[in-house]
Amino acid sequence: MTMRPLTVLHALEKASFSTGSVWQMFEAARGLAQRGHRVLVATRPDAEMARRCREAGLVHLPLAFWNEFDLYSMRRLAGVARRQRVQVIHAHKGIAHAVALGAAVAGARFGLIVNRGVSFPIFPLAAFKYRSPHVHRIVAVCEAIRRHLVEDVRVAADRVVVIPGGVDVHRFSAAVVNPRRVRRELRLPARARVIGTVGVRDWKGWKEVLQALPEVRAEHPEARLLLVGCESERQRRAVLRLADEMGLADSVTPTLTRADMPDVLAACDVVVDASWAGTGTTGTIREAMSLGRPVIATAIAGNGELVEDGVTGILVPPRDVKTLAAAISRLLRDSAFAADLAQAGRTRVRAQFSTTTRVLRLEALYREVIREVGPVTVRRDRVTRPDRKVPAPRGARAVNASPAQPA
């Protein structure tokens, strides 16, 4: 890289790699570091996050991120931004957004970029966070979210840019996955035609997929639903009880959240996202397309920007169980059509939705914002001791910051 390296801080209150937002944040941070930039990552204290950051050449900053009014984290983030000469803070979720705003109000000078990756309405009391003059850009993951921010939240159009989420096309590659291991582990019959869906929150549409299954099995008795993402064993058992009540106990395999999603998605014959609210562009659909799996998604928010109906996948109306069942049955029945969709989907994702493409777009955006903000100055205040404890949320233990962290 011939241009001057940047100092960027990514902030996200979450730290679990079972969530898509964490992967999107981490892969962006890692990609920037690989391009020669100095990158800090602020999350709640988490040993796995700290380890992954260390291995990727990132600096991990544990912050409490208690809530949107966390003055301690605001002051601490402001101090880090000054001492580390942070040029851009990129906040990926609501609490991180509020804390970064507080750091800016406290006097730290940096370009503030915030992500908006969901299509839930932004209520008037929360709109000020997006309209604040301290927010220099909002990254919307799709055009539908950009329109909502401009038309409904009344954010200036030139402050909202569309940068879709990305896929690590090397990790989600058919050349490196092991779908047979997953099928063996979950005891899926060799002849099973596996329909995969991820997310067990109502708005993710998993119940609609379950309701479509009897009609699918009427034509394809070997069809089986793999439902990934139960948040607890209690929820997993509740899914099994519902399937049993519908006479589908032997046809549904629910699992807890998993870290081996490339292998899981590769084990599916069809990947479905039946979300009817909230989504931006569905991450599991991008990932399945990268793996060369045929996909079905609902025609909401930004899914139409990712899936071209009948070309790179199938789009169905939300909460339309009959149309969803017909689409699944067609892909299981027409292997040539499914293969054509899968190949076209793979080509589209790798050309337009890769992590590499996303990182380059973010880098260009950061430089644009830095030019607007101007040079960062440093206040020579006291440096916090490296063994300072990070106050933990109620019910959790405080965690020591490691000496490598810019406390």
Per-residue pLDDT of the chain (407 residues; tens, 9 = 90+): 568 999 999 999 999 998 899 999 999 999 999 999 999 999 999 999 999 999 999 999 999 999 999 999 999 999 999 999 999 999 999 999 999 999 999 999 999 999 999 999 998 888 999 999 999 999 999 999 999 999 999 999 999 999 999 999 999 999 999 999 999 999 999 999 999 999 999 999 999 999 999 999 999 999 999 999 999 999 999 999 999 999 999 999 999 999 899 999 999 999 999 999 999 999 999 999 999 999 999 999 999 999 999 999 999 999 999 999 999 999 999 999 999 999 999 999 999 999 999 999 999 999 999 999 987 654 444 333 333 455 554 444 444 443 344 43
Rounded to the nearest integer, the mean pLDDT of the chain is: 92
pLDDT at 252: 98
Residues 6+ apart with CB under 8 A from 230: 200, 236, 239, 254, 255, 256, 257
Residue 160 is which amino acid?
V
Helix (H, G, I), strand (E, B) or coil at 115: strand
What stretch of H or E contains 42? Answer: strand 38-43
Is residue 215 within 8 A of residue 325, CB to CB? The reply is yes
Assigned CATH for 7-166+355-400: 3.40.50.2000
Task: Determine the pLDDT at residue 123.
Answer: 87
For the chain, the farthest-separated pair of C-alpha atoms sits apart, in whole angstroms, at: 72
β-strands 314-316, 270-273 pairing: unpaired
Domain range annotation of the chain? 7-166+355-400, 179-352
pLDDT digits (tens, 9 = 90+) for 2-12: 689 999 999 99
DSSP at 152: I
Q: Which residue has the tokens 């106050």?
A: 391
**Are 167 and 287 contacting, i.e. CB atoms less than 8 angstroms apart?**
yes
- Does 7-166+355-400 match 179-352 in CATH topology? yes
| Contact by Cβ (8 Å): 306, 353 | yes
Helix (H) / strand (E) containing 65: none
What pLDDT is attached to residue 375?
A: 79
pLDDT tens, 244-280?
Answer: 999 999 999 999 999 899 999 999 999 999 999 999 9
Give the DSSP H/E element, type plus range, for residue 226: strand 223-230
393-404: string of b/e by CB count within 10 Å (b at 16+)? Answer: eeeeeebebbee
Rounded distance, CA 298 to CA 300, Å? 6
Which phi and psi angles does 26 have, rounded to 5°? -65, -40
User: In this predicted structure, what is the pLDDT of residue 390?
Assistant: 57
Q: What distances in angstroms separate CA 6 from CA 37, 103, 352, 366, one per listed residue? A: 5, 19, 25, 8
The pTM assigned to this predicted structure is 0.91
Contact indicator for 172, 179 with CB cutoff of 8 Å: no
Domain 179-352, classified CATH 3.40.1710.10, yes or no: no
Neighbours of 46 (CB within 10 A): 18
Q: Are strands 111-116 and 137-140 parallel, antiparallel or unpaired?
A: parallel
Alpha-carbon span 357 to 245, nearest angstrom: 46
